[in-house]
Homo-oligomer: A and B are copies of this chain.
């Protein structure tokens, strides 16, 4: 996440920087910078001859860069966590994308991203295996009265095997993100391709839609607050029927899973518990529907008592899966912890996974998908 409150640090205080920097794997073609070293420091470089002050803004900290005689500014961050981070440059007070990086949608904007190579990056590496197709589909929603879009992962050989039908995972992004995230910085394509090639996951279709959906009248009413979301309605009444019509899906509840990250975990827990006739698998990555979790969960009232009958929940949910990064902000531990406490008291079966040394960021969610997908449709 981009920090709203940011420290300012001089890059020069980073003594003993290891000089083994290499170009980031998500640089624009032919760009030398940004670079990453073995410690996970990010070094940026930009020509700005007339600037007073240039900073690298990453992980909630602003690092001052140094200017050389040619007007080129360079500097590096402290070591960052493994995985993917959004960042930006600050040039004399202007926050802008780094012209060296590729751009991603997150934190409410298209902006720079960088990849700190992870020790387990092989599970989302490009390998010599059969690959999927990602399809981009636009549709008009009669509920929101606007054009919407989803990306759909079609497993390897979908086009060649013209008879075979597949189960479907509906996979949602988080707040200030959109339908592009999972198939881009999320690496859904490579994670599933690799799992399928190694026989660890079943071939499946994955639908990545946009979790923001509002009726026109909701936008009017909401001028003084948050509009009422119609995402559940759009997903249940429009997206699922469209997907089942367009693609060769299996459409029983045992062949349909749902998962989401952060806001998406919250939305999808509510959706599955309201629609147990439609889904049999739930994955909550860094969140549950009790977020921000200021009170203990009362199972008699939480989601209209959906978790109050443990036998029914255990029978209906073939997988109830929760994942969290060990470096996430406290609020996520509290939210997920409260849910786990409730589930244990009630005797509700669930699986809990911790992503080592990652925060509320994409490496946590890549790992969650990697774990969760292996449990589906078996």
Contacts and interface: CB of A to CB of B under 8 A. Distances in A.
A126 B138 CA distance: 10
B51 A160 contact: no
**Most B C-beta atoms less than 10 A away, residue of A89, A131, A152:** A131
Given A94-B48, A139-B131, A28 B109 contact: yes
Contacts of A126: 138, 147
A109 B28 CA distance: 7
B138 A131 contact: yes
Nearest to A46: B94
Interface in A83-134: 89, 91-99, 102-103, 108-111, 126, 128, 131, 133-134
A91 B48 contact: yes
A140 B128 contact: yes
B97 A159 contact: no
Interface in A1-55: 28-30, 46-54
Q: How many chain copies does the complex carry?
A: 2
Nearest to A212: B29
A246 interface: yes
A70 to B, nearest CB: 11
Interface residues of A, number: 51
Given A128-B140, A159-B246, A93 B50 contact: yes
Interface in A256-281: none
A140 B130 CA distance: 10
A193 to B, nearest CB: 9
Nearest to A73: B94
A89 B94 CA distance: 11
A111 B160 CA distance: 37
A51 B92 CA distance: 5
Contact of A97 (B51, B54, B96, B128): B96
A352 interface: no
Interface of A: 28-30, 46-54, 71, 89, 91-99, 102-103, 108-111, 126, 128, 131, 133-140, 147, 152, 154, 159-160, 162, 178, 189, 245-247
18 contacts: A30-B108, A48-B91, A48-B94, A49-B93, A50-B52, A51-B94, A52-B52, A71-B93, A92-B92, A96-B96, A96-B99, A103-B103, A103-B110, A128-B140, A133-B152, A134-B136, A159-B246, A162-B162
Shortest 9 CB-CB contacts between residues of A and residues of B: A48-B94, A51-B92, A50-B92, A49-B93, A96-B96, A133-B135, A134-B136, A50-B93, A135-B135
